[in-house]
Structure 1
Amino acid sequence: MQQIQDNRHGANQFLKGTLILTAAGIIVKVIGSLNWIILSRVLGGEGIGLYQMAFPIYLLALSLSTAGIPTAISIITAEKVALRDYRGANRIFQLSLILLVAMGLGFSMLMYFGAGWLVELRFIRDARAYYALLALSPAIFLVTVLSSFRGYLQGWQIMTPTAVSQIVEQLFRVATMLIFAALLLPKGIDYAAGGASLGAGAGAAAGLAVLLYYYWRLQRDVAAQARLLPSSFPQENAKSIMRRIIVLALPVSISSIMLPLVANLDLFIVPARLEAAGYTVEQATELFGYLTGMAVPLVNLATLFTAALATSLVPAVAEACALGNGEQIIQRTAAAIRLTNIVTIPAAAVLWLLATPISTFVYHAPQAGEVVSVLAVSVYLLGLHQTTTGVLQGLGHTAIPVVNMGISAVVKVVLNWRLVALPALGIKGAAWATAADMGVAAFLNLYFVYRYTGFRMDLRALGINIFAAAVMSAGIYVFYDAASKILTETQTTLATMLLAAIVYVVVLLLMGGLSERDIMQIPLVGAAAVRILSGLGLLKP
């Protein structure tokens, strides 16, 4: 019972959830990176290729199977919980679970029995990927069901189950992939790729078990609380509930399909326009790899925090919206945008200044540095887009971010066509087009956030963030050159990044960009950090 109250109230719940999801995301990324290194050595390039042939089909089926419904569950659950209609929240979940079970089962069977057809019709160019398709098919059902529980628990603004399940899922996925790939390798590379593909289902089953445990704990508390409350809420009929779920979920589903669609447009346009600029086919392929395989993943890694923030923000805004508390909506939006600025502006500056050293450290490809430096601005733009999308979804306007993504995609296609063919730009033209794509989507979102909430960005706070990042950038410029004379390249890069973070935080504290209240909101370490910084005279109340 106390757990319910703690999760419903607490002004900083969405910040706590953000930090929990961010920590989980980092752990999952590290585990996944180590797994990919080991798996590549087990399967080799050929085996990885077979696995990669089957995986896009799986991702497409999964996108169609979940169809944005978990986000809709999160929004509607948050609304019901805000009104203390716990029975209504459970009814929403039960009906949506039935829908997702049916969809997950249907797409799993379709992939399993359609695998041979995909190979015969040459959608899958190499017939040896057949076993990987079969092995991935059960995972569609399991991940679809798992996503429904995540959406429901997130609607209660409880992010720990999502975080724990992500880590457990990744651990079981990696262990299964490596074990079965090694065991089946003597039977042939096609069997080994199939064995590696079993990891998706095993990981999903483990993650689902974790969520079932948290769901059982929550339901125990919900049942106790519901008995104390009068049953004053009329029961909605199933038809109206399903209609609301579909209205909210359909735009989210379209947006998830748009991402691979835009990626495929890049695949068709960018290499061809690079060739028009005078590059050979091999050079165009290499440059395209720098952009999509190196620069874009670095941007995504730098925005792990804002991706988690957007997930936490959806139910937080939906709760305030259900209560009709416009002031709280603005407060939570302002806090989220402020956090986005604090985190992504320095991250963009670091990636811009240290593009080549970071590319060398991560990929052993200093040639990618030029593209990374151009795309660095996208860290801020993508972060802003993610956060504003979370606000709009929480308000129930799930279609607006999708329309904005569509407009920005058109801008990207036009710019790709024009800029990439210019010999002076080449692949940098594609990077600028990608940045413009994210920028257009972000600022269109920001306009609609203002329109529906009245929120205006605090330009003074933004100026402090930019000034702190500028001082930090000067420190990077001076320190990197000096450190490179006595340290290795890797040591210099890591030491410079650490120093940059310290300088940025200190300047932010001295300028009043971080207050005692801000730091106290940080779970676990907030109080201790306040004591230390106050003792150093760096903290303003």
Structure 2
Amino acid sequence: MDNQQMRKTMNGAVLLSLAALIAKVLSAVYRVPFQNSVGNTGFYVYQQVYPIYGIGMTIALSGLPVFLSKLVAEQQTNKQQINLIKRVFILLSVFSILLFSLIFFKADWIAKGMGDALLTPIIRSVSWLFLLVPILTTTRGYFQGTFRMMPTAVSQVVEQTIRVTVILIAAYLFNLLNWNVYQMGTAAMSSAWIAGLAASLILFFSVIKKRERADNTILYLNDEKTETMSYRTLIRRFTTEGIALSLFSALLILLQLIDSFTLYKGLTYAGMSSELAKNAKGIYDRGQPLIQLGMIVSTAFSTTLIPVLSHAVSEKKELEFLRSASSMVRMTVTFSVAATTGLVVLMPYINQLLFGDRFGVGVLRIYMLAILFASLIGSYHAILQSQNHHYLIMGALIMGLVMKWVANHLFVTKFGTIGASLATVLSLGLILFVIRFGLPRLLKRELTKKRFVLKISLISLVMGITVWLITHYIENWIFNDGNRMDAFALTSIGIIVGISVFLFGLLRFKVLTIREWLSLPFGKKILRKEVK
């Protein structure tokens, strides 16, 4: 890969990271006004079915397109790329029709498996999205494989914007027309296929716009014989690399899916009434947007290093690979620890500010530990993916999902929603342990320098204690009315104090290298002030 191509790849990675950041912020933020409008029970109804949508969009957005872009980039000619896309489209069409049929026609069976037969129309509403997966996946994969990231980025932001708009309209109509929560959920989940259709149209017109000749596009294919990857090879690679990448991209969503099938049922089995169980599940689900926001902070800056890892592996530059991998993990740990500590300490105020009360603070505090584990898993996954360790990744994922399923059955009936939070953290811990065990020895040694771990632990501890003492004192003496405005003030003060203490600690103990500081927004200005 020459310098120009490498620069193009990096620019594309930054563009996709920015689009993903915008989409994730939208995906996390809309849940707050949505929950405020429909209440805990309405939020439960939506979140029960959300993982089905999440898996579909992960496949169509970040899982298979990334894998397909790799296949496209391996092809020697444009003709081979297009013929490959054609075969992939056929395979995905068969797969998507089967998946749609299963979800649509077995929606009642799925709803009963979740313990709530009234969820059936909501599940059917989201199933239509899967018919759009072939066009979403193949067009995004083709554009990314030919280093044209703009169509994917635009379609991603538009898709998320339209989806959020439809969901908030559904919440508004819920109050205006006195719908029940299941009617609201059905309308809200229709956002999946509406937004997916809009994204498909954007990608479709991008294909038309980019074509140079009629016989050189996906839309106008001739039958000229070219050497193309066989269906057998495609199926083999999809069932190993493609599925591993897609499922791992949907890790947190898969854990949520297990919660959908086990948490509500476990609460009612333990003797809780149906309405109380729905309310408790709705409170537990508050943790998901908070985790998303926490992971945005911890991973937004490190994901741009993934192309560098792949480049270093392909060029057999071991020193560059080690340096980039180490930098990615260090930055991930740094920001995920900061986000986790901040959310745990400020949870009472954040919970009241966003959701109007302080119910479930203990449950949500445990749940926030998932930020650190999931962020590290993402970094290690990127490292192993660049070295094609697909079987290890798949094995770790399966072990973690089994752990979550078993732990939910054991813990929920005894400890309620706290048990589900513990099960999530334990399953992520197991996945992290297995993946880390499979890292190359030299890389493992580079990533586990005791001085770095000790410094980050000390800084986060000091930050947490300082924020807790200051906010606790201010709450007792000034902002003690217990309303949302007070919660906003306390949250803001806590964030300002926390960031100040954490940045001071990073600079004082020289946790990050100069190169890592310069890769961060405002990093250059922070270093200049430190020098002065």
Deviation at 1:337, TM superposition (A): 0.8
Question: What is the correspondence of 1:103-502 to structure 2 with a 5 Å cutoff?
Answer: 103-105=95-97, 107-108=99-100, 114=105, 118=108, 135-155=125-145, 161-176=151-166, 195-212=187-204, 235-239=227-231, 240-252=233-245, 256=250, 259=255, 262-264=258-260, 266-267=262-263, 271=267, 275=270, 280-281=272-273, 285=277, 289=281, 292-305=284-297, 316-412=308-404, 427-450=417-440, 456-459=446-449, 460-484=451-475, 485-487=477-479, 488-502=486-500
Q: State how far apart, in whole Å, the 2-side matches of 1:172 and 1:120 are.
A: 27
Task: Give per-residue Cα distances to partners, 1:411-447, cap 9 Å, x unaligned.
Answer: 445555666676xx66545433332221121121122
Deviation at 1:340, TM superposition (A): 0.8
Identity of aligned residues (%): 20
Q: State how far apart, in whole Å, the 2-side matches of 1:430 and 1:192 are.
A: 26
Structure 2: 5+ residue stretches without partners:
217-225, 480-485
Shift in alpha-carbon separation, 1:105–1:347, aligned structure 2, 3 A: same
Shift in alpha-carbon separation, 1:6–1:258, aligned structure 2, 3 A: closer
Q: State how far apart, in whole Å, the 2-side matches of 1:433 and 1:305 are.
A: 24
Deviation at 1:514, TM superposition (A): 3.4
Q: Is the 8 A contact 2:140 2:151 kept in 1?
A: yes
Deviation at 1:380, TM superposition (A): 1.0
Q: Is the 8 A contact 2:244 2:394 kept in 1?
A: yes
Structure 2 residue matching 1:512: 3-state secondary structure: coil
TM-score, normalising length: structure 2: 0.76
Aligned partner of 1:513 among 511, 514, 524: 511
Q: Is the 8 A contact 2:29 2:289 kept in 1?
A: no
Aligned to 1:231: none
**Backbone CA RMSD of aligned residues:** 4.7
- Residue type at the aligned position of 1:440: L
Aligned to 1:227: none
Q: After superposing the two structures, state which structure 1 stretch, 506-515 or 206-215, moved more.
A: 206-215
Task: Give per-residue Cα distances to partners, 1:333-354, cap 9 Å, x unaligned.
Answer: 2222112112101111112222
Shift in alpha-carbon separation, 1:58–1:298, aligned structure 2, 3 A: closer
- Residue type at the aligned position of 1:209: L
Deviation at 1:491, TM superposition (A): 0.7
Structure 1 residue matching 2:447: 3-state secondary structure: coil
Q: Is the 8 A contact 1:352 1:373 kept in 2?
A: yes
- Residue type at the aligned position of 1:72: F
Q: How many residues align?
A: 507
Structure 2 residue matching 1:514: 3-state secondary structure: coil
Deviation at 1:384, TM superposition (A): 0.7
Structure 2 residue matching 1:536: 3-state secondary structure: helix
Q: After superposing the two structures, state which structure 1 stretch, 397-406 or 339-348, moved more.
A: 397-406
TM-score, normalising length: structure 1: 0.75
Q: Is the 8 A contact 1:67 1:250 kept in 2?
A: no
Q: After superposing the two structures, state which structure 1 stretch, 409-418 or 351-360, moved more.
A: 409-418
Task: Give per-residue Cα distances to partners, 1:193-230, cap 9 Å, x unaligned.
Answer: 65544422221122223334555677769x99xxxxxx
